[in-house]
């Protein structure tokens, strides 16, 4: 079972909430936190990243709306850039259906291509060794075409994409096991 990024984030939030709730001792000092020079939330409702007596911390309540928006945009760009590091997408046996966990990453690639019209991508389809060479070439082509259609529907231009099928000719992993086959049933994006 694969855990998606949103599921990981939700689990992390619940874990931190549980830890925060269990770590309270009820002992407080004049500043509100026992033996700490860092306050989690200031009186105006903003959080302090670093605090202390020298007031060297950064509080979100001190940020303007424009600064918050800029920080959110930087975070979104960084997340999209991290997603674009993923360029290999795997398929189930004998199918060209894009897996749900690949869709968000492919959308990030499509948006990147849309924002960069001079960027081209070669979409390489692959299959495992089972089946005839002709069948595997056709299956690799169906997989590459499925990814190409997905990218185009989500903003890329047809002129930026080209597809090619290698079938079983360029395995990522040698071997005749389910693990090797699973790694060979793939589409790779090669940016040019």
pLDDT in tens, 33-92: 444 444 444 444 555 555 555 555 555 566 788 888 888 888 877 877 777 788 999 999
Question: Tell me, what's the pLDDT at 72?
Answer: 85
Mean pLDDT over 128-152 rounds to: 96
Q: How many CB atoms lie within 10 A of CB 78?
A: 10
Answer whether residue 127 shows pLDDT above 80. yes
Q: What percent of the chain has pLDDT over 90?
A: 55
Say what the pLDDT of residue 31 is. Answer: 46
Is a pLDDT exceeding 60 seen at residue 182? yes
Sign of the alpha-carbon torsion through 130, 145, 89, 126? positive
**DSSP assigned state of 48:** B
Q: Distance of CA 79 to CAs 7, 60, 104, 121, Å?
A: 16, 21, 11, 20
Smallest CA-to-CA distance from 60 within 44, 37, 78 is with 44
Contacts 24+ apart (CB under 8 A), 102-107: 103/150, 104/5, 106/147, 106/150, 106/151, 106/154, 107/154
DSSP alpha helix (H) spans, the chain: 5-23, 65-84, 100-115, 133-153, 178-184
Lowest mean pLDDT among 11-15, 113-117, 134-138: 11-15
**Cα(126)–Cα(137) distance, rounded to whole angstroms?**
8
- Retrieve residue 110's tokens: 């499509």
Q: What is the mean pLDDT of residues 89-103?
A: 95
Q: What is the pLDDT of residue 22?
A: 56
Share of the chain above pLDDT 70, in %: 68
User: CA-CA distance, 41 to 29, in Å (whole number)?
Assistant: 15
- Tell me which residue has tokens 């928006």: 69
Distance of CA 35 to the CA centre of its chain: 39
Question: Tokens 């306050």, residue?
Answer: 39
CA dihedral of 138, 144, 145, 147, whole degrees rounded to 10: 150
Per-residue pLDDT at 36: 46
Report pLDDT digits (tens) over 6-28. 666 666 555 655 565 555 555 44
Q: Which CATH class is domain 88-191?
A: alpha beta
Q: How far is CA 43 from the centre of its chain?
A: 36
């Amino acid at each position: 079972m694969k855990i998606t990024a949103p599921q990981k984030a939700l689990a992390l939030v619940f874990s931190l909430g549980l830890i925060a709730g269990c770590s309270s001792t009820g002992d407080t000092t004049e500043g509100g936190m026992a033996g700490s020079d860092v306050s989690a939330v200031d009186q105006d409702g903003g959080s302090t990243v670093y605090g202390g007596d020298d007031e060297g911390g950064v509080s979100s309540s001190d940020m303007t709306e424009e600064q918050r928006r800029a920080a959110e945009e930087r975070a979104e760009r960084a997340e999209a850039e991290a997603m674009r590091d993923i360029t290999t997408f795997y398929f189930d046996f004998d199918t060209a259906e894009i897996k749900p966990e690949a869709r968000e990453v492919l959308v990030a690639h499509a948006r990147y291509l849309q924002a960069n019209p001079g960027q081209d991508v070669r979409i390489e389809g692959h299959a495992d060794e089972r089946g005839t060479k002709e069948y595997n070439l056709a299956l690799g082509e169906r997989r590459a075409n499925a990814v190409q259609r997905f990218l185009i529907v989500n903003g890329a231009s047809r002129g930026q994409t080209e597809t090619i099928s290698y079938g079983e000719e360029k395995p990522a992993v040698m071997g005749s096991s389910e693990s090797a086959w699973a790694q060979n049933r793939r589409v790779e994006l090669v940016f040019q």
